[in-house]
Structure 1
């Protein structure tokens, strides 16, 4: 039997997601990874060198997973909730940009 929580929608999931990102260094690493994903994506498109798009998951998840395993010391939500977790990354990124979440 799984101890995985059941979420019916993203609004139910997001508070859980934020709890899993309580460490400020973890949040900063998520922010950095997300920002670099945007920068590299734009660079790939502008330069026409689309091979860089292959690096996006490594960049985004690499920073996030270091934050989880080293600082948060928990398992990334991506493993159990891949779609909600991806949405959570970008909502948290936005919330940090507009000052709703400290980082």
Structure 2
């Protein structure tokens, strides 16, 4: 079974962190997360990032990964998170980690 999932953003590596740019068409995802966190409770929040590997090393281009990370900062639709092992990966979803 094949599912076509439209990416909502992209992951970019930075020096000691990663940045997740959520496309403007999907800003509602960020608003939903922010409303669940509460005012001023963003930094330190645990997130689950569902992403499709952009790596050419992956033998199967239909696999997705779920990565747990910590939100460091949010500026509009740009999320700065602790460093994750992904670069140029398509983001499929961003969720709060309910277990954290």
| Larger Rg belongs to | 1
Q: Same fold (TM over 0.5)?
A: no
User: TM-score, structure 2 length as denominator?
Assistant: 0.31
Larger proportion of helix: 1
Q: Does 1 or 2 have the higher relative contact order (CA < 8 Å, sep 6+)?
A: 2
Instruction: Give the structure with the larger strand fraction.
Output: 2
- TM-score, normalization by structure 1: 0.30
